[in-house]
Structure 1
Amino acid sequence: MLDLLRESFGHLFEDELLQEIDHVGTFKEINEGDQLIEIGTYVKSMPLLISGAIKVLREDEDGDELLLYFLERGHTCAMTLSCCLGQTKSEIRAIAETQAQLIMIPIQKMEEWTSKYKSWRNFVFNSYHQRLNEMLETIDDIAFKKMDERLLKYLKEKARVTNGQIIYNTHQEIAYDLHTSRVVVSRLLKTLENLGKIELQRNHIKLIDV
């Protein structure tokens, strides 16, 4: 596990901290679609992402979801940090977008390392800053961008985090992530296909010119 830590976090953390993480952390592998964190549950540990991608979602009063951001290698979740430090229930849902490897850090160590290691403190603050900017960008998209622009951006981001030009989500799953209806998504996808930007197949979407 130490070699994986050095590969993903060696540029951020000193070796002493990496060895502590290796000693107290728990290695975890999750498959695509697996749930890592559920809304309303207490978070007992903080994830450090070694590989893969995790999508973080918010839910409204009607149970409809909205994609906030993706977590990738070398990231952690600011919302998880808040829950761990405040010992409050999670307000987000985290689901594996791809197969992923994580190291789970016990919450007891987080405060200790914040005072003990400057690199850990900087990592926590930078994580808050990055995730906050991503959430503000999501708010801006909802407030100022048309749905076709949001959909195209979503497809590009999905292709980037999965390292491929094929999107395997159904129209309904995309609608959930964008907090809209399947009918709207299907109509806009058809428009994108007519423009030559994507190719619609029975079980997937192929990106051509995005």
Structure 2
Amino acid sequence: MTKEILYQKFGYVLDDSLINEIINVGVFKSFSKDDIIIDINQPMLYIPLLLKGHIKILREDNEGNELLIYFLEAGETCTMSLTCCMGKSKSKIRAVAEQDSDLIMIPVQKMKEWFHGNESWRNFIIESYQIRFDEMLDAIDSIAFLKMDERLYKYLVNKSMLNESATLLIKHQEIAEDLHTSRVVISRLLKQLENEKKITLGRNKIEVISN
């Protein structure tokens, strides 16, 4: 089953020999929703390839407040963990399962070997860096240039697209933590968005209304 999923999610970019090697050396792991997959200051011994589910990548300030950087989808890897692996440093991010997720963990040494010896892996890593770089620029632009209500609505739309559902089962506190603000502010802005007919609120549920 793992081989079939690997081909389904990564066969478009990784060659057959590499996928077979990933199966031989990789460690398959499953995580439940809200499990911490990689934590801040954790030694980086493996890099993750996401086979199923969604993962959110967070940064933390000195007071323990978290800020959402980007989401990972099936068929992707976390380039911030790649950077830590290449630099032999500890993790600077926290990766949390947004929903039940399956991963295959690749030993750091293999990642380095493949980067120099396998063109399909090298292209995958470079493309992954570009995607994540664009997403981080987008996150910076949102923080710098968008008002909080605009950031909130963009967050809800993106999360709806990620989950392929207009209905989000989420608490106001969780949104507040992702956007690095207070629950009171989020609750007020959600009500504002509902009055603007952009969303419909329910108990721990938000319906995103298509434009």
Q: The TM-score by the shorter chain falls in which range?
A: over 0.9
Aligned residue for 2:138, secondary structure, equals helix
Equivalent residue for 2:33?
Answer: 32
Q: How does 1:97-112 map onto structure 2 within 5 Å?
A: 97-112=98-113
1:74 deviates by 1.0
CA contact (8 A) 2:33 2:101 kept: yes
Please tell me the root mean square deviation across aligned C-alpha atoms, in Å: 1.1
Equivalent residue for 1:141?
Answer: 142
Q: Which runs of 5+ in 2 are unaligned?
A: none
Give the Cα separation in 2 of the matches to 1:101 and 1:110.
19
- Residue by residue, what CA displacement relative to the aligned partner does 1:61-119 show, whole Å, maximum 9, x if unpaired? 11111100000011101111011122211110000111111111011101110111011
Amino acid across the alignment from 2:158: E
CA contact (8 A) 1:98 1:162 kept: no
Question: Is residue 2:78 matched to residue 1:81?
Answer: no
1:123 deviates by 0.9
- Residue by residue, what CA displacement relative to the aligned partner does 1:22-54 show, whole Å, maximum 9, x if unpaired? 111111111111110111111111100111110
CA contact (8 A) 1:53 1:73 kept: yes
Amino acid across the alignment from 2:89: T
1:129 deviates by 1.4
1:208 deviates by 2.3
Aligned residue for 2:63, secondary structure, equals coil
Aligned residue for 1:89, secondary structure, equals coil
Amino acid across the alignment from 1:74: G
- TM normalised by structure 1 equals 0.97
Percent identity for Structure 1 against Structure 2? 53
Give the Cα separation in 1 of the matches to 2:203 and 2:4.
41
1:209 deviates by 3.2
Give the Cα separation in 2 of the matches to 1:208 and 1:140.
24
- TM normalised by structure 2 equals 0.96
Question: Is residue 2:58 matched to residue 1:57?
Answer: yes
Amino acid across the alignment from 2:88: Q
Give the Cα separation in 2 of the matches to 1:25 and 1:58.
27
Equivalent residue for 2:194?
Answer: 193
Amino acid across the alignment from 1:200: L
Q: Which runs of 5+ in 1 are unaligned?
A: none
Give the Cα separation in 2 of the matches to 1:26 and 1:4.
14
